[in-house]
Structure 1
Amino acid sequence: MIRQIAYGCLVLAVIIVTIFSLEETETSTRVQRLIALFGMLVFLGVVFLSSTNHRAVRWNTISGAMLLQFLLALFVFRSGAGQSIFSWLSTFCEGFLGKSYYGTSFVFGAAVADSGSFGVGVLPAVIFFGAVVQVLYYMGALQWILVRAGKVFMTVLGVSGAESIVACASPFLGQCENAMLIRPFLPHLTTAEMHQIMTSGFATISGSVLYGYIAMGVSGQALLTSCVMSIPCSLAISKLRYPEVSEPLTKGEVKMPESPEKCVNLLHAAGVGASIGMNVALLIIANLICLLALLYAVNAGLTWLGNFITIHELTLQLITGYVFVPIAWLIGADNSDLVHVGQLMAYKIWANEFVAYDLMTTTYKDLLTPRSTIVCTYALCGFANLGSVGMQIGVLTTLAPKRGGEISRLAVSAMICGAFSTWVSASIAGMLS
């Protein structure tokens, strides 16, 4: 225990020395960096206080994960090579996923494809990405990447093979498809592993929706960095909340089970992937229609109530937006933007990140400073919202029906941990931006 605490203190010292040794700029003063550092410690402290077993927390895992996340952010924010690599990746992803335009244009016509609406601008890219992922899986390329990346996190952070694979897969596949990679193991996962798998899904976005956010005007470099940073961060947050107290079946082993769907060739794989992408797209449509309708129905009632107590435009996101103001301050947003950032974070929780990013790039575009925009981008980059809770419960219960009660019990905790993961990433961005 003493060694683990010493290791944690060393990691914290490295972070403090680094952020204070960097030259100050107009948008990143040492005071602002100190606030963001304090915010990161507050987020970690709150999760630790809610831990199910304080004595079982492995601080080597937590400290190692935070160090990996910080070093990655430092590489991206403060090195020319890091900025160039992630800028190129952002441009490549935007250009590659943008090729879905040609399929949309052929099916619906150029006029519809050029309309710029969400339905024809984003959802075809989701279907296209689903096909690409399935082709890569058929070729064995996806398994090769995930197994090797999983071995790194398993070795460095001391987590199980199943957790490593799902954490690495989440930025590619998203919150539902990631668990399908370890379907045979799901009934046998420990409680901590199940919580971690759900947290990984809530803590990041998927590659299938990446193009949609970039098309809205969100920084692709920030989105990609946040996705990669979410891998160690989700592991750290989940292990603080639910430390491992059992013996995982895949401890010390990274094994990818074979998929039950056997594709005959590349065309068959592309077709299967397109079908999966269509299901995801329909789920996105259903969630947007349902959640936005419910949100505005609740807001109509609150506005009607507000007229009696002389509060203009009283809405759910206005109320919770003020609740999120302290969190906006802790992640390092500028003081002038705290209410705006808080409202965007509220929109993300009550609706989803699609709505929040759309508002950030339209309604709030000229209201936020560059610093507030970048930390807000990181804070919103995850599927931690109420609609996703139902999606995860439905998918995981289908894959492991005997664990349905436990999955339902863990879902809200995992969603909150996923939100905390994005806030920790945002606070690190606030230290280095």
Structure 2
Amino acid sequence: MNFVFLVTGILLVFVIGWLISSDRKHIRFGTIGRLFMLQIIISFICLHTSGGVNTLKQISLFFNWLMKQAAGGVDFVFGGFVIKAGSSVFFLSVLMPIVFISALVGILNYIKVLPFIIKWAGWGLNKISGMGELESYFAVSTSVLGQPEVFLTVKDQIPKLTEQRLYTISASAMSAVSAAMLASYMKLVPGKFVVVAVFLNILSALIISSIVNPYIPEKEDKLVEISKGNAEPFFQVLGNYIVDGFQLAITVAAMLIGFVALVTFLNNSFLAVINISFTSLIGYIFAPIAFLMGVPTSDILKVGSLMATKLITNEFVAMGTLHGIAGTLSTKANAIISAYLVSFANFGTIGIITGSIKSISAKQGSYVAKFSIRLLAGATLASILTGTIVGFYF
């Protein structure tokens, strides 16, 4: 049955992608095939071999260790708070460590470790996919730096990009998650699914772009380098990353307060009027999609609700809900929804991406706004593809 649901999930992604494609006659089947095979190889190694499983376990343990190190700074500043035994404050235990992880990213960027990895990983990805050097570079770099910062690394190229290429890099930005967020995600969902989803999402975004937005990349592309580096003093760069991490944590906290309160309001309102919660109602809408991805029938309503919650709010709201109900879901359902949630595919991210590009080029920002719904649909399809592939192994 696993193979059947792998096929149904892929068909779902392809059919919807074909329906919203801007150029159905030139869908890049060769690129899709190569990237999909790479996804199967990566997911097989990570989830179906002892070496891969142990590697993911060590990566998860490493990020858990980083969270403990981050606790040193958090406790120093907030140590006066009295928290009842067995409880934790989400803002302190999950969001505040982002500041420390962001500082580490800044250090690795400053000493040119990240630029080296991103450059050559992008080069290798381009050789396999033929998506274009700029697109391949961006797909890798956005998984490390996240947005909006990643757009600054290609700010000189953005005004020159065609509408098709803008779609591809925007889809990559929505499908990937920044390294600074990984440790926080691992507090809510199993680390192995977070790591696998990061790898698969890089490729899923390019696969969906090859269906929804096919084009032949320009041959004169040249790899770009991350602009932030040794031009500024070390402690100035480090301070900037620390402040950026803190602002990110505050932004996520504000969005969580607003979105969770909104969902609570809608749940109570719908219960009062039609005797069904809002999240249960939207669960029915996404349940068929969850079923085609391979989620067991008994779990499709819960998983469908989480999928819709992520789309309407953000991944943190959905992960927080999943963290509370994971024990009621099957192993397969947990695997699929955990991988699905690891991306920025939601309505709020459209505004971030549009605003980031608009700050660099008003004209290009207007292009992104024009195809924003198709962009959100494509990024959601990328998450569906990633979740389907992970579910194949459970």
Q: TM-score, normalised by structure 1?
A: 0.85
**CA offset digits 1:194-231 (Å, max 9, x no partner):** 11111112213222222222223x11011101101111
**263, 276, 280: which one aligns with 2:232:** 263
1:50 aligns with 2:27: no
Amino acid aligned to 1:313: I
**53, 56, 61: which one aligns with 2:31:** 61
Aligned residue for 2:4? 34
Conserved 8 A contact 2:46-2:53: yes
**CA offset digits 1:406-428 (Å, max 9, x no partner):** 01112222222111111111111
Change (3 A) 1:176 1:285: same
Conserved 8 A contact 1:127-1:277: yes
1:279 aligns with 2:229: no
Q: In 2, distance between residues paired with 1:205 and 1:247?
A: 27
Q: Across the two proteins, how many residue pairs are aligned to each other?
A: 392
What value does the CA root-mean-square deviation take over the aligned residues?
2.0
Q: In 2, distance between residues paired with 1:300 and 1:116?
A: 26
**CA offset digits 1:217-251 (Å, max 9, x no partner):** x110111011011111111101211112573762x
Change (3 A) 1:98 1:181: farther
Q: In 1, distance between residues paired with 2:361 and 2:210?
A: 22
Q: In 2, distance between residues paired with 1:360 and 1:426?
A: 15
Conserved 8 A contact 1:287-1:387: no
Which ranges of 4 or more aligned residues in structure 1 deviate by more than 6 Å? Answer: none
Q: Can you give the 5+ residue segments of structure 1 that lack an aligned partner in the other structure?
A: 1-30, 307-311
Aligned residue for 2:198? 227
Aligned residue for 1:359? 321
Q: In 1, distance between residues paired with 2:271 and 2:147?
A: 34
Aligned residue for 1:239? 210
Change (3 A) 1:188 1:112: farther
Deviation at 1:269, TM superposition (A): 2.0
Q: In 2, distance between residues paired with 1:392 and 1:47?
A: 21
**CA offset digits 1:288-346 (Å, max 9, x no partner):** 2232333334444433432xxxxx2331x222210111111111111111111111111
1:375 aligns with 2:347: no
Conserved 8 A contact 2:134-2:223: yes
1:414 aligns with 2:390: no
Change (3 A) 1:171 1:94: farther
Deviation at 1:261, TM superposition (A): 8.8
Deviation at 1:105, TM superposition (A): 0.7
Deviation at 1:139, TM superposition (A): 0.7
Q: TM-score, normalised by structure 2?
A: 0.93
**CA offset digits 1:348-369 (Å, max 9, x no partner):** 111211111111121x223201
Aligned residue for 2:258? 290
Deviation at 1:259, TM superposition (A): 3.1
Task: Provide the identity percentage.
Answer: 25
Change (3 A) 1:257 1:270: closer
**300, 304, 317: which one aligns with 1:342:** 304
Change (3 A) 1:387 1:430: same
**313, 334, 338: which one aligns with 2:276:** 313
Q: In 2, distance between residues paired with 1:414 and 1:80?
A: 37
1:179 aligns with 2:148: no
1:88 aligns with 2:58: yes
Q: In 2, distance between residues paired with 1:33 and 1:392?
A: 36
Q: In 1, distance between residues paired with 2:182 and 2:39?
A: 20
Secondary structure of the corresponding residue to residue 99 of structure 1: helix
Conserved 8 A contact 1:195-1:242: yes
Q: In 1, distance between residues paired with 2:29 and 2:335?
A: 29
1:393 aligns with 2:357: no
Larger displacement relative to structure 2 (276-285 or 71-80): 276-285
Q: In 1, distance between residues paired with 2:9 and 2:187?
A: 31
Q: Can you give the 5+ residue segments of structure 2 that lack an aligned partner in the other structure?
A: none
Secondary structure of the corresponding residue to residue 333 of structure 1: coil
Secondary structure of the corresponding residue to residue 263 of structure 1: coil
Deviation at 1:106, TM superposition (A): 0.7
